[in-house]
Structure 1
Amino acid sequence: MKKFMLLLIVLVSASMLGACSWFQEADQSLKYADQAKEHIQTLSDFAEQAPQMIQDAATDPETKKQLENRLNELKKDIEQFNLINAPTIAKDIHAQLVEKNKILLQEINQAVDNGHLALDRLQNSPILATISDITGLINRIENLGL
């Protein structure tokens, strides 16, 4: 009887540890999905506002400075997001986001030289198209929360 009780305790403990691990992985996946959606929303917000800001920046130095600041903030956000340690279930999607983010960083770096915006380079850059590619991954990220 003692052996049976000991075996039962071991089995229950093992199953509880497995369940805790599953819940922990699910929690990490949800947190990652929230971080990724927030990152994509930041990019999306910029993409919505950028065309008007670019147009206004051609004649308004203050708008140009604001646009320059937004791009520099965007760079920092992208770099921080790329450092996130994604949970196992999100490794593939995170790798894709990081790859696209690196392309976006290169494009921003071409438009912002030594912290100063080169408006003509920004106007001719594919930044908005790259952001559109990134926002296309939102459905896969939302499915991580299921």
Structure 2
Amino acid sequence: MKKWILILALLSTMFASGCSLLEKANQTVDYGTQATEHLTNLREFAEQAPQMIKDAATNPETKQELENKLLDLKKEIEQFNLSSVPSMAKDIHQQIVEKNKILLDEINKVIVNGHLALDKLQNSQIITTISDAANLLNRIQNLGL
């Protein structure tokens, strides 16, 4: 009888630790998906923004769309920076957060009183900063996250 109790206790412990490993693996995959999506969104904005900036100079609708995209990007960055991060991804997450903080500062400089200051955007480093951050996407993919 004692053998069976010992075997059941041992199996329960093994099962519990196996679930913990599975949970950690799922968290890592979830984070990898979230980080990839975030950096892909940044990259897409960086690709679209130069033309939108040119068009916004003469088209109020494009200027409004660009402003909305920047405000949405700001919210996304703030949310991503607060993400739960698995231990395997802490280093890459910190690098993304550092780039995101620079990007947030730049966005805050071009959004004046809640509206886009196009001249400030044209002279900003936002596209360069986004491109730098988007380059981290390759590291995430190489980690297999």
Q: For the residues of structure 1 that align with 2:103 and 2:10, how far apart are their CA atoms?
A: 50
TM-score by length of structure 1 reads 0.92
Runs of 5+ in structure 2 lacking a partner? Answer: none
Which residue is equivalent to 1:49?
48
Runs of 4+ in 1 over 3 A off after TM superposition: none
Q: For the residues of structure 1 that align with 2:80 and 2:144, how far apart are their CA atoms?
A: 17
Which residue is equivalent to 1:69?
68
Q: For the residues of structure 2 that align with 1:140 and 1:6, how far apart are their CA atoms?
A: 47
Query: How many angstroms does 1:97 deviate by?
Result: 1.1
**Partner of 1:32: helix, strand, or coil?**
helix
Q: For the residues of structure 1 that align with 2:27 and 2:3, how far apart are their CA atoms?
A: 36
Task: Give the 5 Å matches for 1:4-43.
Answer: 4-43=3-42
Is this contact kept in 2: 1:29–1:144, CA < 8 A? no
Q: Which amino acid aligns with 1:118?
A: A
Q: For the residues of structure 2 that align with 1:113 and 1:68, how far apart are their CA atoms?
A: 11
Query: Alpha carbon RMSD of aligned pairs, Å?
Result: 1.3
Task: Give the 5 Å matches for 1:100-119.
Answer: 100-119=99-118
Which residue is equivalent to 2:123?
124
Q: Which amino acid aligns with 1:55?
A: K
Q: For the residues of structure 1 that align with 2:144 and 2:5, how far apart are their CA atoms?
A: 38
Query: How many angstroms does 1:144 deviate by?
Result: 4.1
Query: How many angstroms does 1:101 deviate by?
Result: 0.5
**Partner of 1:86: helix, strand, or coil?**
coil
Is this contact kept in 2: 1:58–1:119, CA < 8 A? yes
TM-score by length of structure 2 reads 0.93
Q: For the residues of structure 1 that align with 2:136 and 2:112, how far apart are their CA atoms?
A: 29
Identity across matched positions, percent: 57
Runs of 5+ in structure 1 lacking a partner? Answer: none
Q: Which amino acid aligns with 1:113?
A: V
Task: Give the 5 Å matches for 1:127-138.
Answer: 127-138=126-137
Query: How many angstroms does 1:83 deviate by?
Result: 1.3
Q: For the residues of structure 2 that align with 1:98 and 1:8, how far apart are their CA atoms?
A: 47
Q: Which amino acid aligns with 1:42?
A: N
Q: For the residues of structure 1 that align with 2:30 and 2:52, how far apart are their CA atoms?
A: 32
Is this contact kept in 2: 1:90–1:144, CA < 8 A? no
Which residue is equivalent to 2:139?
140
